[in-house]
């Protein structure tokens, strides 16, 4: 079965399996904000930190737009303390 699956891929285009580090970092990033991970564990190796941060960012354009939009929840800018009005 494995040999048959390999024949379906173009020559020279084999895929390597995802690393255990990436799988674990992705699962951590799905469950907890990075700040909580930093606070919970004393020492996190730098390569592990980098992969968790990498997987913490949204992947789809829709998610990026959703998280990058700034909305304070106030309908009237004058109702928001510290916001100057013209």
What tens digit of pLDDT does each residue of 7-61 get?
565 666 667 889 999 999 999 999 998 889 989 988 999 999 999 999 988 878 8
Helix (H) or strand (E) holding 6: helix 2-8
Per-residue DSSP letter, 14: -
pLDDT band for position 3 (cuts 50, 70, 90):
low
pLDDT band for position 86 (cuts 50, 70, 90):
very low
pLDDT in tens, 60-78: 888 778 777 766 555 555 5
Higher pLDDT, 53 or 3: 53
Of 57, 59, 56, the residue nearest 37 (C-alpha): 56
């Amino acid at each position: 079965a494995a040999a048959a699956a390999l024949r379906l891929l173009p020559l020279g285009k084999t895929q390597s399996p995802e690393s255990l580090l990436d799988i674990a970092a992705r699962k951590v990033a799905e469950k907890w904000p990075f700040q909580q991970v930093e606070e919970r564990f004393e020492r996190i190796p730098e390569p592990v930190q980098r992969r968790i941060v990498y997987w913490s960012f949204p992947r789809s354009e829709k998610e990026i737009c959703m998280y990058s939009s700034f909305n304070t929840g106030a309908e009237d800018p004058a109702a928001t303390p510290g916001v100057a009005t013209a």
